[in-house]
């Protein structure tokens, strides 16, 4: 029995070590996301923090869509920063006036090929674009941000959104 | 004969031991491999569950819906912009804070008091706001957010900003930022969802008596009804779905949603609030107000 454990102990230690090292990848990604979140906050410095969302995903063999609903009830200017620096596959960010299940929703703005980059936008430019497309609308009360993540080599990644309000 | 039996038993035992050894030779590394694999993948899938609320397969891949809820102070400011007047007696008395024994109620009332703090601060009722900040610190510590709210500097910062409404608002937004960071870093986002549910109902309650059929406050309230579906999703993200009180509270919020969605004025307009906000009739407003008051009374009632 002792011989048996002598033989298998190095194997156990080896596998557990591999497990620990691999598990560290997740916390490394989280740490990177946290740094990018801070970068986004810097990009909209001077605003009052309203909210944030880190969207984790696994790149796979098919395209995937992530939708985030964000509320903009106040008349004040909302500023948004999105970091796709940890995204390795082609990513387009689309901003709509309604959820995906609303057939007649309007595409307000689109950022193409944003992987590896940071993007910024604000409600004043979105409202102008929206009114140009929909003259009856006065302003946006909410927006729907869509991440269209292309297929690619399997990897765990994330996109950071931070937004704030001009005082 | 006896020696034959003994020899047979010896062979049997030897064979048995070898079999066990053989099995263990495969079994132990198999356990180790399972542990290693579990530590590789388990954490990630758990992470994905906390961030993704809904999963719908699409034609060319998959689609997932998520949301970000606003800060309670932003909801209070939206009402203020619409012309909501300050009424001191409407807020939840700070003396109730010690009377919430159940975790869900502590979280909900942390949200209620967050709105009360914001409501006082934006209306320049700084003394009342200070009292609510003390209550929030106490409640925050109770629900496991002590590292955010136990900062003794908070009150000092607040006192420094007394008389400066903008500085107080900065401080409130700052507290929310710290709270969000803490909950995100510790996988406690579901606590924030429940806290927000309390903040939302308190905001509606503060505005509900000020509205009439076509008032600006009334319109703002209807706009804020668009948050309700996501608030219910937030409740559903809580790990303790079997908690009796949580179940009861979810039913209350679903009741408001049902009442609202069954209103003729709501049914006839688009689901897109940027195109059209429902204009409720007086009767519909009263029905909604009744529901809001009933749910808010249930949440702030001490001693549950």
- Identify any residues that bridge with B250 across adjacent strands, giving them in sequence order: none
Half-sphere exposure of residue B47, counting CA atoms within 13 Å on the CB side? 23
The alpha carbon of residue B302 is apart from the nearest alpha carbon of chain A, in Å, by 30
Please tell me the predicted confidence (pLDDT) of residue A60.
Answer: 94
Among chain B residues, the shortest Cα distance to A98 is held by B272
Note the pLDDT tens digit of each residue in A60-89: 999 999 999 999 999 999 999 999 999 999
Please tell me the predicted confidence (pLDDT) of residue A9.
Answer: 61
Please tell me the predicted confidence (pLDDT) of residue B12.
Answer: 42
Same domain, B204 and B255: yes
Same domain, B7 and B123: no
Same domain, B215 and B85: yes
Same domain, B80 and B27: no
| pLDDT tier at A27, thresholds 50, 70, 90 | confident
Contact status, residue A90 vs residue A150, Cβ threshold 8 Å: yes
CATH dotted code for A2-165: 2.60.120.510
Same domain, B157 and B17: no
Nearest to A147, CA basis, from B61, B49, B71: B61
In A, which residues are within 8 Å of B28 by CB distance?
A: 4, 8, 11-12
Please tell me the predicted confidence (pLDDT) of residue B236.
Answer: 94
Note the pLDDT tens digit of each residue in A29-51: 999 999 999 999 999 999 999 99
Alpha helices in B52-84 (DSSP H): 72-81
- Record: contact A15-B63, CB cut-off 8 A: no
Tell me if B117 is assigned to some domain.
yes
Tell me if B224 is assigned to some domain.
yes
Please tell me the predicted confidence (pLDDT) of residue B259.
Answer: 96
Domain boundaries, given as residue ranges, for chain A = 2-165
In A, which residues are within 8 Å of B180 by CB distance?
A: 49, 51-52
Note the pLDDT tens digit of each residue in A48-68: 999 999 999 999 999 999 999
The alpha carbon of residue A63 is apart from the nearest alpha carbon of chain B, in Å, by 5
Tell me if B44 is assigned to some domain.
no
The alpha carbon of residue B185 is apart from the nearest alpha carbon of chain A, in Å, by 9
Torsion, CA A71, CA A77, CA A83, CA A89, rounded to 10:
70
The alpha carbon of residue B77 is apart from the nearest alpha carbon of chain A, in Å, by 7
Note the pLDDT tens digit of each residue in A116-143: 999 999 999 999 999 999 998 889 999 9
Same domain, B9 and B119: no
Q: Specify the higher pLDDT residue, B52 or A24.
A: A24
**Local structure of B126: helix, strand or coil:** helix
Token pair for B167: 């500085």
Residue B149, domain extent: 72-300
Cβ count near A150 (within 10 Å): 17
- Identify any residues that bridge with A81 across adjacent strands, giving them in sequence order: A120, A162
Whole-number Å distance between alpha carbons of B74 and B85? 16
Contact status, residue B97 vs residue B109, Cβ threshold 8 Å: yes
Same domain, B176 and B294: yes
Whole-number Å distance between alpha carbons of B109 and B280? 29
Tell me if B101 is assigned to some domain.
yes
For chain B, the domain total comes to 2
Q: Specify the higher pLDDT residue, A10 or B12.
A: A10
Please tell me the predicted confidence (pLDDT) of residue A56.
Answer: 96
Tell me if B50 is assigned to some domain.
no
Same domain, B206 and B279: yes
Tell me if B53 is assigned to some domain.
no
Same domain, B208 and B151: yes
> CB-CB: which of B47, B64, B223 is closest to A141?
B223
Token pair for B188: 């406690």
Residues of chain B with pLDDT under 70: 1-62, 211-214, 304
Alpha helices in B123-211 (DSSP H): 126-142, 146-149, 153-160, 165-185, 189-208
Interface test with B, best of A141, A143, A146, A159 (most B CBs within 10 A): A141
Same domain, B147 and B238: yes
The alpha carbon of residue B188 is apart from the nearest alpha carbon of chain A, in Å, by 14
Tell me if B24 is assigned to some domain.
yes
Whole-number Å distance between alpha carbons of B46 and B28? 26
Same domain, B276 and B174: yes
Q: Specify the higher pLDDT residue, B144 or A147.
A: A147
Handedness of CA B42, B45, B48, B50 (dihedral sign): negative
Q: How many CB pairs under 8 A join A and B?
A: 171
Interface test with A, best of B18, B23, B68 (most A CBs within 10 A): B68
Tell me if B42 is assigned to some domain.
no
Q: What is the pTM of this model?
A: 0.81
Please tell me the predicted confidence (pLDDT) of residue A17.
Answer: 54
> CB-CB: which of A101, A134, A142 is closest to B226?
A142
């Amino acid at each position: 029995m002792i011989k048996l454990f002598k033989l298998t102990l190095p194997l156990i230690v080896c596998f557990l070590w591999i497990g620990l090292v691999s598990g560290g990848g997740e916390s490394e990604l989280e740490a990177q996301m946290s740094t990018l979140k801070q970068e986004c906050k810097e990009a909209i410095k001077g605003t009052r923090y309203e909210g944030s969302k880190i969207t984790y995903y696994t790149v796979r063999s098919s395209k995937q869509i992530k939708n985030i609903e964000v509320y903009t009830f106040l008349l004040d200017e909302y500023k948004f920063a999105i970091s796709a620096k940890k995204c390795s596959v082609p990513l387009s960010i689309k901003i709509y006036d309604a959820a995906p299940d609303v057939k007649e929703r309007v595409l307000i703005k689109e950022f193409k090929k944003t992987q590896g980059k940071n993007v910024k936008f604000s409600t004043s430019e979105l409202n102008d674009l929206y009114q140009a497309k929909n003259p009856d609308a006065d302003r946006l009360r909410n927006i729907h941000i869509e991440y269209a993540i292309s297929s690619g080599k399997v990897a765990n990644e994330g996109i950071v959104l931070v937004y704030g309000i001009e005082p | 004969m006896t020696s034959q039996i003994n020899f047979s038993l010896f062979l049997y035992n030897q064979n048995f031991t070898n079999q066990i050894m053989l099995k263990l030779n495969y079994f132990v590394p198999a356990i180790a491999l399972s542990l290693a694999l579990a530590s590789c993948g388990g954490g990630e899938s758990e992470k994905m569950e906390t961030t993704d609320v809904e999963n719908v397969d699409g034609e060319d891949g998959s689609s997932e819906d998520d949301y970000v809820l606003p800060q309670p102070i932003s909801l209070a400011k939206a009402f203020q912009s619409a012309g909501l007047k300050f009424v001191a007696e409407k807020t939840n008395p700070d003396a109730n804070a010690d009377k919430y024994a159940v975790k869900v109620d502590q979280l909900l009332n942390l949200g209620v008091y967050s709105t009360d703090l914001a409501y006082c601060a934006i209306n320049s009722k700084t003394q009342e706001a200070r009292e609510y900040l003390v209550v929030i610190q106490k409640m925050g510590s109770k629900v496991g957010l002590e590292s955010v709210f136990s900062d003794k500097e908070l009150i000092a910062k607040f006192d420094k900003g007394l008389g400066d409404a903008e500085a107080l608002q900065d401080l409130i937004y700052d507290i929310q930022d710290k709270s969000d960071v803490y909950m995100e870093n510790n996988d406690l986002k579901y606590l924030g969802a429940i806290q927000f549910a309390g903040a939302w109902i308190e905001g509606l309650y503060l505005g509900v008596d000020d509205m009439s059929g076509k008032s600006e406050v009334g319109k703002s309230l209807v706009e804020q009804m668009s948050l309700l579906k996501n608030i219910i999703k937030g409740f559903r993200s809580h790990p303790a779905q079997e908690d009796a009180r949580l179940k009861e509270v979810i039913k209350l919020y679903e009741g408001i949603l049902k009442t609202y969605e069954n209103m003729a004025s709501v049914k006839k307009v688009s689901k897109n609030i940027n195109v059209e906000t429902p204009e409720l009739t007086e009767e519909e407003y009263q029905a909604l107000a009744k529901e809001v008051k009933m749910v808010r009374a249930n949440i702030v009632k001490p001693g549950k």
